[in-house]
Amino acid sequence: MKISRRRFIVSTAVVGGGVLIGYSATRPSRHRRANAQLASDGAHYVTSFLKITPDNRVTVYVPHAEMGQGIHTSLSMMAADELDANWELVDIEQAPAIDLFANGDLVKGFASELGVPAFLQGLVNASAFKVAEVMNLQITGGSSSVRYTGETAMRTAGAAARQMLLDCAAARWGVPVAECSTSLSYVQHNASGRSLAYGELAADAALLEPATNPVLKTPAQWNIMGKAISRNDIPAKVDGSAPYGIDAHSKDMLYAAIRFAPVFGTKLVSVDDAGLLSRPGVKKVIQLEDSVAVVADNYWRAKEALKLVQAEWETSEFDNVTSADIFAGFDRSLAADDSDQDKEQGDAEAGLSAAVDTIEASYRVPFLAHAAMEPMNCTVHIHGDTADLWTSTQDALGIKGRVAKIAGLSENNVTFHHSYLGGGFGRRLPFNWNVIDHATLIAKQFDVPVKTVLSREDDLQQDYYRPAVSSNFKAAFDGAGKVTTWHNRFTGPIQVAGASHIPYAIENQSIRVVDGPTHVPIAAWRSVDHSQQTFFTESFMDELAHRAGKNPYQFRMDLLQEHPRHRKVLEVAAEAAGYGSNLPEGHALGIAVQESFGSIVAEVAEVSIGADNRPIVHKVTCAIDCGRAINPDTVESQVESGIIFGLTAALYGEISIEKGRVAQNNFPDYEMVRMATSPEIEVHIVESGEALGGLGEPATPPIAAAVTNAIYILTGQRVRELPLSKHNFARNSLANV
């Protein structure tokens, strides 16, 4: 697929049929609309994403949600650098949730590189694929903001604006543009020593047509990008003033506590709420199709009253389903092997029959919840035919449209109030509608704002989960000990193409997926399919290395001759971790590497087994090739974050199904890595200069296998099922592996 080079309108075919049309940041009609709708007090928008005011301040409007990834700062750095702005004069604002800021560039980026992202497939797979609906999203996800919105829209917007300011100044001075230059928010005419502030030019520059293909800086010309710049969202996060969706507050606000049908997909039959309305502050008991809510003048009062509600739920065929049943179903699907092709190369069947030695292994991982620290919540105030909306979301425009639809209002009459997100990790993407819909239906019954908040228990039990997956492997060696064949069958669905693929030079590969339907709702979870697949493939590769009698690091390096970027990150991580040198008694290093979301990450985990026979992860050394680092400090923090997120899943993460419902309740039985269990983390950024890679997710996939590969060295036990809390490890060190 090829992206059209035209800047104003970009169209491209997408996987599954249909067409996507993306409007670049510099489409003239948008630029004029921005001036008409949003500019005031002498301010002018010179592109959709930038505003320059007479006081020479630049405001960058960032169309993505800030959930800790530092995106407000990174994207502003990209626009400001291309603009040659003085960073001290740059303000950062969240772009309002209006379609002017819909991020077609993100969709375009995915469409060209990977097909369509998982969270859009619901739209794309529908035969009546509506471009308008896709364009109406304002999504933050897929580790995509910097590499798509940043590279395509923000940098282009900054460069186009700079060119307009240059043209404008040259015209005013009556000199050739080539004699003028820009620096620190000024245009200079060096020959005459004249200079004009951007703020003095903005009004006239706004009347010019933006250039269609402005020239972007080379990395050597960067002044702001590439530097560790402090994030603009942090000061408000240390004094309690940073607003999150759950912090929406007004004197007349009401609060809803809600209980959902415990078995997914079932409905409410009846409710006994006798006497509840006489409790202090309780306003109403509301029955919805799949839930019951109590509305009161304080969340605790609503929650306490809800405990007293007797609800009867309909029975369903899933009422007795357990995790064991689900995995047994996976095993049956895998045995039947009614599979769809994921990747076929060479002749795997022939490779297996000609084998001198074969190895087989079966892996599985459970469902996982997102468990963002801010429990899911949504505040809606419906007044007449208009509404106000507060919620932490990865897609402000989509949520606004959804609330309008559920409330029966015009989308233009819904005002979205932005906030920071108390974590997202995929939970706050579109199609995970359950809290949004319920909050809107509840608020429809009042004329004051109503804040619906899930308890932590509901948040864990009514999530859209990281899918449980089972994966079976076979591999073949020839007489020389070379791996000839890789044979893999796993349960779907595939949410991200290619996650099960391996970079290793193995001649025959048969990788296929079988259906693994369950009644448990699923969604994207940080790193999506890579979180399961990398554990499987990098563990099985380790099994092959040990069977071949080779050092796992060297075994990988030998099979990565075609992948110098993989080799480089492995080399950097291994060397920094002291791979091959002496370790403290009872410690071992495990290694894993994975490419995801455009970045390549190698991790080395230093592990020992504690007196309680549980693994202790002492240190993780990571090397990441994300092309280039826009904000190196943010790169490091995202890598640290991704590793700890993946480590939590590896050590403790399990959502299990009993009687058709989630068995876990709260953090004590859905445990997290905390200070005491958090390893030292060392991050090495490898700047290959290749296309920018994502950062929010790529550090998560390798950690589980890195840890379990070390455990194998320590104990001889191969972990083929997570989490590690299910296993008891006796120390039994293998020498010389």
Residue with tokens 């193995």: 506
Which of 435, 577, 673, 706 is close enough to bind other proteins by CB under 8 A?
Answer: 673
Q: Which of 70, 67, 117 is nearest to 391 (CA)?
A: 67
The DSSP string of 304-334 is: HHHHH-EEEE---TTTT--HHHHHHHHHHHH
Q: How far is the CB of 6 from other proteins (least distance, A)?
A: 38
CA distance 566 to 544: 18
Which of 243, 493, 521, 578 is close enough to bind other proteins by CB under 8 A?
Answer: 243
Which of 161, 414, 681, 713 is close enough to bind other proteins by CB under 8 A?
Answer: 681
Which of 59, 232, 298, 358 is close enough to bind other proteins by CB under 8 A?
Answer: 298
Q: How far is the CB of 701 from other proteins (least distance, A)?
A: 15
From the centroid of its chain, how far is CA 161?
A: 30
Judged by CB under 8 A, the stretch of 118-126, 164-172, 365-373, 593-601 that binds other proteins is 365-373
Alpha carbon separation from 629 to 68, 69, 374, 718 (Å, rounded): 17, 13, 29, 36
CA distance 235 to 241: 9
Judged by CB under 8 A, the stretch of 35-43, 184-192, 237-245, 474-482 that binds other proteins is 237-245
Q: How far is the CB of 254 from other proteins (least distance, A)?
A: 10
Which of 99, 151, 247, 290 is close enough to bind other proteins by CB under 8 A?
Answer: 247
701 scored as a contact of other proteins (CB under 8 A)? no
Residue type, 89: L
694 scored as a contact of other proteins (CB under 8 A)? no
178 scored as a contact of other proteins (CB under 8 A)? no
Judged by CB under 8 A, the stretch of 87-95, 178-186, 499-507, 677-685 that binds other proteins is 677-685
Which of 278, 675, 689, 735 is close enough to bind other proteins by CB under 8 A?
Answer: 675
Q: How far is the CB of 449 from other proteins (least distance, A)?
A: 12
Judged by CB under 8 A, the stretch of 28-36, 183-191, 367-375, 483-491 that binds other proteins is 367-375
Q: How far is the CB of 58 from other proteins (least distance, A)?
A: 23
CA distance 539 to 708: 7
Judged by CB under 8 A, the stretch of 19-27, 164-172, 227-235, 704-712 that binds other proteins is 227-235
Burial of residue 35 (CB within 10 Å: 0-12, 13-18, 19+) is middle
Which of 38, 216, 242, 288 is close enough to bind other proteins by CB under 8 A?
Answer: 242
Which two tokens mark 231? 């994030």
Which of 23, 61, 148, 255 is close enough to bind other proteins by CB under 8 A?
Answer: 255
Pattern 48-77, other proteins, x by CB under 8 A = -------------------xxxx-------
249 scored as a contact of other proteins (CB under 8 A)? yes
CA distance 367 to 522: 9
155 scored as a contact of other proteins (CB under 8 A)? no
The DSSP string of 503-541 is: -S--SEEEEEEE----SS-B---TTTTHHHHHHHHHHHH
CA distance 48 to 95: 10
Q: Which of 512, 456, 453, 455 is nearest to 672 (CA)?
A: 456
240 scored as a contact of other proteins (CB under 8 A)? yes
Q: Among residues 434 and 648, whose Cβ is nearest to other proteins?
A: 648
Contact 294, 281 (CB under 8 A): no
Which two tokens mark 168? 């404008």
Q: Among residues 131 and 685, whose Cβ is nearest to other proteins?
A: 685
453 scored as a contact of other proteins (CB under 8 A)? yes
CB atoms within 10 A of CB 127: 8
676 scored as a contact of other proteins (CB under 8 A)? yes
Q: Is the peptide bond before 723 cis (omega within 30 degrees of 0)?
A: yes
Q: How far is the CB of 630 from other proteins (least distance, A)?
A: 15
239 scored as a contact of other proteins (CB under 8 A)? yes
Burial of residue 152 (CB within 10 Å: 0-12, 13-18, 19+) is buried
Which two tokens mark 384? 């007449």
Alpha carbon separation from 3 to 110, 157, 239, 321 (Å, rounded): 11, 18, 45, 47
Q: Among residues 456 and 718, whose Cβ is nearest to other proteins?
A: 456
689 scored as a contact of other proteins (CB under 8 A)? no
Q: How far is the CB of 304 from other proteins (least distance, A)?
A: 9
Which of 76, 94, 533, 641 is close enough to bind other proteins by CB under 8 A?
Answer: 641
Judged by CB under 8 A, the stretch of 75-83, 120-128, 565-573, 644-652 that binds other proteins is 644-652
645 scored as a contact of other proteins (CB under 8 A)? yes
User: What residues numbered 103-122 form the site for other proteins, per CB under 8 A?
Assistant: none
User: What residues numbered 600-639 form the site for other proteins, per CB under 8 A?
Assistant: 633, 637
Judged by CB under 8 A, the stretch of 78-86, 174-182, 678-686, 687-695 that binds other proteins is 678-686
Helix (H) or strand (E) holding 287: strand 282-288
667 scored as a contact of other proteins (CB under 8 A)? yes
Q: Among residues 39 and 276, whose Cβ is nearest to other proteins?
A: 276
Number of H helices, E strands in the chain: 18, 29
390 scored as a contact of other proteins (CB under 8 A)? no
Residue with tokens 């989308």: 411
Q: Among residues 100 and 524, whose Cβ is nearest to other proteins?
A: 524
- Collect all residues with Cβ–Cβ distance below 8 Å to 545 and sequence separation of at least 6: 551, 552, 555, 556
141 scored as a contact of other proteins (CB under 8 A)? no
Q: How far is the CB of 680 from other proteins (least distance, A)?
A: 7
Q: How many residues make up the chain in this entry?
A: 737
481 scored as a contact of other proteins (CB under 8 A)? no
Cα-Cα-Cα-Cα dihedral sign, residues 396, 398, 399, 404: positive
Alpha carbon separation from 30 to 25, 33, 37, 102, 721 (Å, rounded): 8, 5, 10, 11, 52
- Collect all residues with Cβ–Cβ distance below 8 Å to 541 and sequence separation of at least 6: 502, 504, 552, 555, 556
Which of 216, 494, 672, 737 is close enough to bind other proteins by CB under 8 A?
Answer: 672
Which two tokens mark 211? 């250039």
**SS3 category, 203:** helix
Q: Among residues 236 and 356, whose Cβ is nearest to other proteins?
A: 236
80 scored as a contact of other proteins (CB under 8 A)? no
Q: Among residues 231 and 567, whose Cβ is nearest to other proteins?
A: 231
The DSSP string of 580-595 is: TS---TT-EEEEEEEE
**SS3 category, 12:** strand
Q: Which of 679, 638, 728 is nearest to 147 (CA)?
A: 638
Alpha carbon separation from 292 to 439, 551, 565 (Å, rounded): 12, 58, 53
Q: Among residues 255 and 486, whose Cβ is nearest to other proteins?
A: 255
Tell me the site size for other proteins, rule CB under 8 A: 64
Which of 366, 423, 430, 615 is close enough to bind other proteins by CB under 8 A?
Answer: 423
650 scored as a contact of other proteins (CB under 8 A)? no
Burial of residue 664 (CB within 10 Å: 0-12, 13-18, 19+) is buried
Q: How far is the CB of 622 from other proteins (least distance, A)?
A: 12
Q: How far is the CB of 696 from other proteins (least distance, A)?
A: 10
Question: Which spans of this chain sit near other proteins (rule: CB under 8 A)?
Answer: 67-70, 230-231, 233-244, 246-247, 249, 251, 253, 255, 280, 297-301, 371-375, 420-425, 453, 455-456, 633, 637, 640-645, 648, 666-668, 672-676, 678, 680-681
